[in-house]
């Protein structure tokens, strides 16, 4: 997984704004996690890092769009990403060797932040449980595999008929 470190030294108390638009890290992440995704619109992040006594507050947005198979019909679905980043990186997590995963690394003076790792985690948080091509996607017929958005099949009707007949002690011819 790509890492991209930025030094968080000499941050003003009000925070400093960063932006990240390197698209290659997304492709590498999808490849290494076996996710079938391609960029539809660049994924761009803008965020402010504010220093606190015990860590850094990161607030901003991650926006763009990716193309990925619909969970129901496997045709292309466009996933619009409009994600709010609200994340606290605790200094204590960075200094411990085990336990919490941290995107911070201590420098001689101050800390560095792995922007790629932090944004990857935000991207995963932004993914919905089900990605659909349309809200009303009919999916594939579990019996014959027909894409019910573009063709109809009679499997469901036949199953209902045979169930009805069976319940009356009859069987389909
Ligand atoms: Zn679909
Ligand atoms: Zn069918």
Domain borders along the chain are 5-136, 138-173
pLDDT digit string, tens, across residues 28-39? 999 999 999 999
Q: 153: burial class by Cβ within 10 Å (0-12, 13-18, 19+)? A: middle
Q: Which of 42-46, 50-54, 107-111 has the lowest mean pLDDT?
A: 107-111
Q: In angstroms, what is the span from residue 159 Cα to ligand 2's centroid?
A: 10
Q: In angstroms, what is the span from residue 169 Cα to ligand 1's centroid?
A: 38
CA-nearest of 46, 71, 59 to 128 is 71
Q: In angstroms, what is the span from residue 78 Cα to ligand 2's centroid?
A: 26
For the chain, give me the number of helices (H) and strands (E)? 4, 7
* Overall average pLDDT of the 27-54 stretch: 96
Q: In angstroms, what is the span from residue 68 Cα to ligand 1's centroid?
A: 10
Residue-level pLDDT at 29 = 94
pLDDT digit string, tens, across residues 91-147? 988 877 666 678 999 999 899 999 999 999 999 999 999 999 999 999 999 999 999
Residue-level pLDDT at 122 = 97
Q: In angstroms, what is the span from residue 155 Cα to ligand 2's centroid?
A: 4
Ion ligand 2 neighbours (CB, 5 A) are 141, 143-144, 146, 153, 155
**pTM, two decimal places:** 0.84
CA-nearest of 47, 124, 126 to 89 is 47
Distance of CA 101 to the CA centre of its chain: 18
Q: 66: burial class by Cβ within 10 Å (0-12, 13-18, 19+)? A: buried
Q: In angstroms, what is the span from residue 79 Cα to ligand 2's centroid?
A: 28
Ligand nearest 130 Cα, by number? 1
Contact 15, 48 (CB under 8 A): yes
Q: Rounded distance, CA 131 to CA 104, Å?
A: 31
């Amino acid at each position: 997984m790509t890492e991209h470190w930025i030094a968080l030294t000499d941050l003003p108390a009000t925070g400093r704004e960063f932006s990240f638009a390197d698209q290659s890290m997304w492709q590498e992440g999808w490849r290494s996690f076996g996710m079938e995704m391609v960029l539809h619109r660049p994924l761009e992040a803008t965020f402010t890092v504010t220093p606190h006594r015990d860590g850094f507050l990161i607030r901003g947005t991650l926006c763009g769009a990716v193309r990925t198979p619909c969970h129901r019909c496997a045709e292309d679905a466009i996933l619009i990403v409009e994600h709010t980043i609200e994340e606290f990186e605790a200094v204590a997590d960075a200094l411990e060797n085990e336990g919490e995963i941290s995107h911070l690394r201590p420098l001689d003076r101050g800390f560095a932040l792995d922007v790629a790792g932090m944004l990857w985690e935000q991207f995963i948080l932004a993914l919905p449980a089900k990605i659909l091509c349309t809200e009303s996607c009919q999916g594939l017929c579990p019996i014959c595999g027909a894409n019910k958005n573009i063709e109809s099949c009679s499997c469901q009707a036949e199953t209902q008929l045979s169930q009805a007949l069976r319940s009356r002690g009859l069987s389909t011819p």
